[in-house]
Chain A
């Protein structure tokens, strides 16, 4: 119980360091502003009201979750490396809290931010959809709420793994710019590289994380990138990568000499 309350205090600290910065609120503002702009744009372009209702809008606005995810990557990539860049790591680590616990509190804060900004997107797009497009007339026509939730769910798995990757880079590199830059580069190159590898039919490419992170393909009848891939295989790969990222982050952070 004592250990838990210590951890909660550490998480409060990490949250303070995230939410006392104007940048974080700018990220939230951008998400809200884009949802509103999107709704107004759709309404103006779609004079015949063919687009549909609030749920259809939510389903469409769900694509903006990628932006929310990018913001979470920035937070994740900076949360450990930033302490080194600022020099505050020297004051943070000389307290009666183990390095593991400090790292865990940072990881929890990152996941809370990711979830928080997705929840924000979800509710803002719902509210905007209601105001601009109104409730669905009859059920069964367009996408349903369950479709929207499913979409968010599948993306969440993808995002959590990738945010964990950025978090690992943050724990490994002492420069937050390097950690952010590397996360983005790898993320943006990965889809291009995957497309090329799939075109070339390199069988080993199925072991790459990015071939497996979109689990929705197994549920909506699309074909996996490689014919012999199954849901079980992809889930196993995701879990293995996740464990590897966590292990690398924890081992390097615990062992590191804090000098310079």
Chain B
């Protein structure tokens, strides 16, 4: 367990008789970039607020490096850096004064560390200007600066790429991955942008209606065994019958100018052989890799129907 930074056990939030977050359980190991993915209102922000002690926990617990957030708040939170929703800083102070402010709240942060994070987020030129003159992207970067000031073991960011331009998004992504790789920082990000998650995260948890409906590594999710293969053939009806007889689990269906099956990449040659042996003419074979987005929609829609 030494490698686990964050342990979430049975985490639940109820307000009145509404259950906003429902028995979440997951671990985030050291150095992992972990995503909380879900539509608006799925409970991502509520989960994050409980993790940082902004709202009370109805049931369950959040353990950060062995310290319980509810019971040993000061010790647990000293290991956390976070931005909850938008990075709202003191607009009437300069960026530097904002950093001084947060540095004073944590014992043992030398002045040079402040300069270090300022250059990390590339705000050297504007750091002594008042925050009210900053663009959204600059505020976001200042938000990151205050979150990493004390070299936290876990960095929790709610919608970190909100308001950033494409260049900023790429920088943020690279930086977070860099932090996770080189400093072993665990990073927890929430987003409803699937494409972002695909590029940034090692693992993603899908939340819906406060429930955890899926946690899996991003590679599995994007390039899962379930590949859709479309055979463009001269006699689709017959081809479907042949495939149905030989491999009913691949669920052959007509469409897309041919027959579509859902199968393993390894099985494609044998399926082609089957069709050739049945004297069916094949014009083309296409594989359609399922994106995270398709997967996400599938999983969340499934949840809605059930």
Contact = CB atoms under 8 A, between A and B. Distances in A.
A248 interface: no
A86 interface: yes
A256 B74 CA distance: 17
B86 A87 contact: yes
A259 B104 CA distance: 25
Nearest to A257: B55
Contact of B101 (A16, A86, A93, A258): A16
A96 B106 contact: yes
A189 interface: no
Given A94-B77, A259-B54, A86 B105 contact: no
A12 B87 CA distance: 22
A222 interface: no
Contacts of A86: 88, 90-91
B107 A6 contact: yes
Contacts of A259: 46, 49, 54-55
B97 A16 contact: yes
B236 to A, nearest CB: 55
A251 to B, nearest CB: 14
B78 interface: yes
Nearest to A86: B88
Given A17-B93, A90-B85, A12 B104 contact: yes
A244 to B, nearest CB: 24
Contacts of B216: none
Interface in A72-117: 86-88, 90-98
A154 to B, nearest CB: 35
Contacts of A92: 105
A173 to B, nearest CB: 18
Contacts of A96: 74-75, 77-78, 105-107
Interface residues of A, number: 26
B146 interface: yes
Contacts of B83: 91
B73 interface: yes
Given A257-B56, A259-B55, A95 B92 contact: no
A106 to B, nearest CB: 13
Nearest to A12: B104
Contact of A91 (B74, B91, B146): B146
B26 interface: no
A15 to B, nearest CB: 11
Contacts of B92: 17, 20-21
A10 interface: yes
B104 A91 contact: no
Contact of B89 (A9, A10, A91, A255): A91
Interface in B54-73: 54-56, 73
Nearest to A9: B104
Between B49, B90, B102, the greatest number of chain A beta carbons within 10 A of the residue's beta carbon is seen for B90
A252 interface: no
Contacts of A150: none
A230 B10 CA distance: 59
Given A10-B105, A95-B106, A258-B49, A90 B84 contact: yes
B187 interface: no
Residue of B55, B82, B87, B104 with highest tally of chain A CB at under 10 A: B104
B92 to A, nearest CB: 5
Interface string A223-234: 000000000000
Interface in A210-260: 255, 257-259
Contact of B88 (A12, A13, A87): A87
A96 to B, nearest CB: 4
A98 B104 contact: no
Interface string B117-139: 00000000000000000000000
A259 B89 CA distance: 17
Interface string A6-35: 100110110011001100000000000000
B88 A95 contact: no
B184 to A, nearest CB: 21
Contacts of B55: 257-259
A101 to B, nearest CB: 9
- Most chain B CB within 10 A, of A17, A92, A96, is at A96
B239 interface: no
- 9 A-B pairs with the lowest CB-CB distances in the bound complex, closest first: A87-B88, A95-B105, A257-B55, A96-B78, A9-B104, A258-B54, A96-B74, A90-B84, A94-B52
25 contacts: A2-B107, A9-B104, A12-B104, A13-B101, A16-B100, A17-B90, A17-B93, A20-B93, A20-B97, A21-B92, A88-B88, A88-B89, A90-B54, A90-B84, A90-B88, A91-B84, A94-B53, A94-B82, A95-B102, A96-B105, A98-B74, A257-B56, A258-B55, A259-B49, A259-B54
Interface of A: 2, 6, 9-10, 12-13, 16-17, 20-21, 86-88, 90-98, 255, 257-259
Given A17-B101, A86-B90, A96-B78, 14 more contacts: A16-B97, A16-B100, A17-B93, A21-B92, A86-B91, A87-B85, A87-B86, A91-B84, A94-B54, A94-B77, A94-B84, A95-B77, A95-B105, A259-B55
